[in-house]
Chains A and B, each alone.
Chain A
Amino acid sequence: DVKVTQSSRYLVKRTGEKVFLECVQDMDHENMFWYRQDPGLGLRLIYFSYDVKMKEKGDIPEGYSVSREKKERFSLILESASTNQTSMYLCASSSGHPSYEQYFGPGTRLTVT
């Protein structure tokens, strides 16, 4: 079975803190993604990665960075957390060619106070 895990289900941080969200997949997928989900706005892509040390900006990269040092692990970094980054963060990995099916983790509910 496909498995994507995220380091925390719930996280509470203060404004200005540096926050790390970690995602691990066990399918040897090359492609990994970070989304955020907000009521009324749906899911929006923050960053994605095609391979180790490769990253591409998604639709809303401002205020975020990512790191992919190993194939199975993709980290999302909030350099200086702000209240407008309170959201549900979802990590996904993709099987790549030919199906490109995406598999999601359980999500991290981040609250910034």
Chain B
Amino acid sequence: KQEVTQIPAALSVPEGENLVLNCSFTDSAIYNLQWFRQDPGKGLTSLLLIQSSQREQTSGRLNASLDKSSGRSTLYIAASQPGDSATYLCAVMNVQGAQKLVFGQGTRLTINP
């Protein structure tokens, strides 16, 4: 059974720092991996999607990498801003799984001005 883990559960950093969020998964037979952002009480916003054949994806100050063989993904945020404060979730879609996403518990990120 696929399990997705995000460590740490919470992270607090000063504004301007570059930071890395981690995601690990137990079964490497994935179709894709998706990173989401969730603000308190709101829905999920898709940030980046990496197909299993890709190594990384970039959008603005965000860069996501995927190492399928080791079961790891990282989300790199450059020059962090207070507006980046949110919970970040990663989710994988298994090759065998009928498009179901398996989510991690998320990392709650706080950027201090």
Residues of A within 8 A of B (CB): 4, 6, 31, 40, 42-43, 45, 48, 56, 58-59, 88, 90, 92, 94, 98-107, 109
Closest B residue to A31 by beta carbon equals B99
Residues of B within 8 A of A (CB): 31-32, 34, 36, 41-46, 49, 51, 89, 91, 93, 98-101, 103-106
Assess whether B49 is in contact with A107, with CB atoms less than 8 Å apart. no
Q: How far is the CA of A97 from the CA of B83 in the complex (A)?
A: 33
Assess whether A104 is in contact with B43, with CB atoms less than 8 Å apart. yes
**In the complex, what residues of A have CB within 8 A of residue B43's CB?**
4, 6, 90, 104-107
Q: How far is the CA of A99 from the CA of B89 in the complex (A)?
A: 18
Q: Is the interface of A mostly helix, strand, loop or mixed?
A: strand
Closest B residue to A107 by beta carbon equals B43
Q: How far is the CA of A100 from the CA of B93 in the complex (A)?
A: 9
- B103 touches which one: A4, A31, A43, A107 (CB < 8 A)? A43
Assess whether B36 is in contact with A99, with CB atoms less than 8 Å apart. no
Q: Would A56 and B103 be within 8 Å (CB), given that A99-B49, A104-B36 are in contact?
A: no
**In the complex, what residues of A have CB within 8 A of residue B34's CB?**
101-102
**In the complex, what residues of B have CB within 8 A of residue A100's CB?**
31-32, 93, 99
Q: Is the interface of B mostly helix, strand, loop or mixed?
A: strand
The 4 A-B residue pairs with the shortest CB-CB distance, nearest first, are A104-B44, A106-B43, A43-B103, A104-B43
Closest B residue to A98 by beta carbon equals B51
Closest A residue to B89 by beta carbon equals A43
**In the complex, what residues of A have CB within 8 A of residue B44's CB?**
90, 92, 104
- B106 touches which one: A6, A42, A106 (CB < 8 A)? A42
Q: How far is the CA of A88 from the CA of B43 in the complex (A)?
A: 9
Assess whether A109 is in contact with B93, with CB atoms less than 8 Å apart. no
- B10 to chain A: closest CB distance in Å? 13
Q: How far is the CA of A103 from the CA of B49 in the complex (A)?
A: 11
- A29 to chain B: closest CB distance in Å? 11
Closest B residue to A10 by beta carbon equals B41
